[in-house]
Amino acid sequence: MDKITIRKIGPIDDVSFILNKMNVFIGPQSSGKSTIAKIISYCKWVEKRFILDGEYNDDFAEKFMEFHRVSDSYFYNNSYIKYESDSVIIEYKGYSHEQNISKVNDGLNYTNSKNIYIPAERNFVSAIENLRKYKRTNDNIMNFVYDWAEIRDNYPLDKKYSILNLDVSYYYVSESDADMLSLDKEGKNLKLNNASSGLQSLVPLLLPLEYMTGDLFDIKNMESVDEKLEMANLFFTYFNQLIDDKTRKEELLSELKEKKGTINLTDEEYKKLFAILSSRREYHHSQFIFEEPEQNLFPETQRELVYYMVEKLMSNNREHRLLLTTHSPYILYALNNCMLAGLVYNKMREQDKQRVKCSSALITPNKVSIYQIDNGKVEGIQQPDGLIGNNYFDNKMKDLMDDFYVMLNYYGK
């Protein structure tokens, strides 16, 4: 398992923990949940680049701030990050801007993951039409936009995707670049950007989860935008076979020089480039990082979303991993149901199994780590059996009800 240590970055004071198959972080606003998620996401990207490309020469902090759109006020002189996996050790020391990346082994057994970071701002892809017109940039929101654009291509009308138990299906119309919903009971269709805020938040979570635990490993042809850029740079020698136009060649060379290794190829140029390449990088599993999956969702839908996430995470023998941040007790206790089911389901009577809604979402507690963040530190909230114990949500509910009980003494007098 991977281990991460973070000190003095943003609101984080000093944390160190092991990453599990499923990881959950709870806590108040601005407590550091997203900071942890972003650092883990970036470390995994650096790990991939270092193993597959053999080097990583960018300034860790600078690139992290650029990609995740955070200011340099997040880093201090005594900031420190250490990420340890089966493949690499990544260490960053803020006081000297020193960074060290080393292989743990020869890298031959490295399992390549398709990583996706789905930010809280994911509704952007639902609300804005004609996303393909947006300029390529290198940050977490636009990176997700590019991933989304490729994922939805796999869900045309004849492969429309059913959304939980909501009697709604999604499909993509490439001719008009339109994200569409089919209201199955009513027999009507509408654009996703005209749907409820809940569906606009839910669909960009579910589609990547469905695709990246299934079809991705059958067709093996999806690369992230960053990987495309890296591949383009790595195989720049093939450009003579790609581009005959002298002016276009000079334009790309100038762009490469100015941007220090990044270029903006057209979609057609990407297609030609990958057609020339004789081999592709196979994915072995997916790594999901979700910010606040509960946004705009009714409690029942939050529960169904958690059951679906766990089902997909456990659906095959691949080592898929998921990390999420949340403010929702419904998310937390739906996951608790899945863990309890993982412990007792095989002992249950058949008639009781039929009553349990999480019967397809079993996960044993040893595969789940749940942390709450307080004053820049993290603590586990699981009991010895792995189920959820006393936690921030329970305590805040007690605080809320204390007011009610004080006033209740005067009600009706």
Task: Tell me the DSSP string of 207-228.
Answer: HHHHHHTTTHHHH-----HHHH
Backbone region of residue 359 per phi and psi (left: phi > 0; alpha: psi in -120 to 50; beta: other values) = alpha
pLDDT attached to residue 371: 95
- Alpha-carbon 156 to chain mean position: 24
DSSP label at residue 405: H
pLDDT attached to residue 126: 74
pLDDT attached to residue 230: 52
CA distance 207 to 200: 12
pLDDT attached to residue 103: 84
* Count helices and strands in the chain by DSSP H and E runs: 14, 15
pLDDT attached to residue 277: 46
- Alpha-carbon 303 to chain mean position: 19
Partners of residue 16 on adjacent β-strands: 5
- Alpha-carbon 151 to chain mean position: 14
CA distance 169 to 172: 10
Strand order in the sheet with 188-191: 161-162, 168-173, 178-183, 188-191
pLDDT attached to residue 363: 97
CA distance 28 to 64: 23
pLDDT attached to residue 273: 58
- C-alpha closest to that of 6 among 79, 81, 59, 74: 81
Q: Which residues of the chain are under the pLDDT cut of 70? A: 96, 106-109, 127-138, 219-243, 256-265, 269-281
What's the predicted TM-score (pTM) here?
0.81
Summarize pLDDT for 113-166 with one digit per residue, the tens. Answer: 889 999 888 887 776 666 555 555 667 888 888 888 889 999 999 999 999 989
pLDDT attached to residue 149: 86
pLDDT attached to residue 227: 56
pLDDT attached to residue 278: 34
Dihedrals φ, ψ of 173, to 5°?
-105, 105
Two tokens at 272? 């030609």
pLDDT attached to residue 131: 59
